[in-house]
Amino acid sequence: MMTTHNGSHGFYNFIFHSFFKHLDAEKAHHLGALVIRITGLPGIRHVKHAFTRPAPELHVQALGLNFDSPFGMAAGFDKDVNMVSGLYALGFGHVEVGTLTAHAQPGNPKPRLFRLIPDRALINRMGFNNHGAAAAVPRLNKLRKLKHRPVIGVNIGKSRIVDVENAIDDYLTSTRLLAPLADYLVVNVSSPNTPGLRGLQEISSLSPLLTAVKEASGNTPLLVKIAPDLSSEEIREIAQLVTTLKLDGIIATNTTISRSGLLTPREKVDAIGAGGLSGAPLHDRSLEVLKELRDVVPAEMCVISVGGIETAQQIQERLDAGATLVQGYSGFIYNGPAWALSINRRLRKMRKEQL
């Protein structure tokens, strides 16, 4: 549950259970996105951010960048770079946009986003629906000119229409367009919703892909995002590869294809079908993967931990386990727009108590 049970959280809880949970999950997301975009309008953004600005003691230096808070929004929430200013106004220290692909694509057929409310989880099989890398360029250009904005990560993936054997050229198209406009770039090889994509995590495929993208990305910090379903040996191999290639970091983890230990009735989960599971059930596995990575990668390498985050205590636990930064997504659906503000305030309070 939330770290604080203030009025805004109680009000959102009421709205969620009275209204949002009865709406199709993707429609509810679009409705929420509209509110976030309005929050990001210039006049509103400045007023709101004055109220939500994270305390200076929460600032983190990583990837050669200054993050206002260790807590950011994970990829998948703002696929087309429409909500960055709004999410900044709500208190997120960074926003990872995307996943963006070289070719615009509609994604998988609807419905493709589902809530597992008893588990505080989501299942999605969106399929990298986005308007394409080129369409994101003017929006990123505009954001970069703002005096006040969060750190912007750009997450890129393989276009569905491109065969796996041609994946490198496809990633390079996106890299050349987006790396110059990204504060950091992420190679996503771990979504379960694009056929063949996860196979790119195999070292024989991953090594040439990351080598090519690193060369094309110039001075932009480069990270790779991995799945929680990898074995310890696979995690170790990827960590060693990333270290050898001198990439800047690893994001762990994406959604899982596992369905174990859920409270939602099995028949309901089976009826939903394929997709990546995110939210609270990922907490333990995501933490495990973080610890396994930290055993291998150099201390100075950036590791961004994501999966099952809802509270400030959980964020501090990840930071204590070696995470440089932490991201959330599903928790926003269950905690509402005051989530980041609440977490930042609680993190600050916890640090003051430790002094």
Distances (CA, A) of 56 to 24, 60, 62, 313, 342: 39, 9, 15, 19, 16
Structure tokens at 195: 């056929």
pLDDT (tens digit, 9 = 90+) per residue, 268-325? 999 999 999 999 999 999 999 999 999 999 999 999 999 999 999 999 999 999 999 9
pLDDT (tens digit, 9 = 90+) per residue, 182-224? 999 999 999 999 989 999 999 999 999 999 999 999 999 999 9
pLDDT (tens digit, 9 = 90+) per residue, 82-112? 999 999 999 999 999 999 999 999 999 999 9
DSSP state of 281: G
DSSP 336-350: -TTHHHHHHHHHHHH
Q: Which residues are annotated as a binding site?
A: 75-79, 99, 124-128, 155, 188, 193, 225, 253-255, 279, 308, 329-330
Nearest Cα to Cα of residue 175 among 106, 80, 102, 254: 102
pLDDT (tens digit, 9 = 90+) per residue, 309-346? 999 999 999 999 999 999 999 999 999 999 999 999 99
Distances (CA, A) of 61 to 68, 81, 242: 9, 24, 21
Prediction pTM value: 0.95
Quick one: pLDDT at residue 8?
63
Q: Which residues are annotated as a binding site for substrate?
A: 79, 124-128, 188, 193, 254-255
Query: Phi and psi (nearest 5°) for 276?
Result: -95, 135
User: Is pLDDT at 17 greater than 60 in this prediction?
Assistant: yes
β-strand partners of 72: 327
Task: Identify the band that residue 18 occupies on the pLDDT scale cut at 50, 70 and 90.
Answer: confident
Look up the CATH number of domain 9-348: 3.20.20.70
Length of the chain: 355
User: Is pLDDT at 1 greater than 70 in this prediction?
Assistant: no
Structure tokens at 70: 């260790």
SS3 314: helix
Give CA angle at 44 (40, 48), nearest 5°: 90
Rounded CA-CA distance 228/342 in Å is 27
- H helices of 109-231, in order, are 133-144, 167-178, 203-216
DSSP 195-218: TTGGGGGSHHHHHHHHHHHHHHTT
Strand ranges, E, within the chain: 60-62, 65-67, 71-73, 94-100, 113-116, 121-124, 151-156, 184-188, 222-226, 249-252, 276-279, 302-306, 325-328
Nearest Cα to Cα of residue 254 among 178, 320, 200: 200
Quick one: pLDDT at residue 94?
98
Does a cis peptide bond (omega within 30 degrees of 0) precede residue 52? no
Q: Which residues are catalytic?
A: 191
User: Is pLDDT at 2 greater than 60 in this prediction?
Assistant: no
Nearest Cα to Cα of residue 330 among 137, 123, 160, 59: 123
Q: Which residues are annotated as a binding site for FMN?
A: 75-79, 99, 155, 188, 225, 253, 279, 308, 329-330
Question: Residue type for 29, please?
Answer: H
H-helix or E-strand spanning residue 282: none
User: Is pLDDT at 41 greater than 70 in this prediction?
Assistant: yes
pLDDT (tens digit, 9 = 90+) per residue, 122-140? 999 999 999 999 999 999 9
- CA Rg, the chain, in Å? 19
Does a cis peptide bond (omega within 30 degrees of 0) precede residue 253? yes
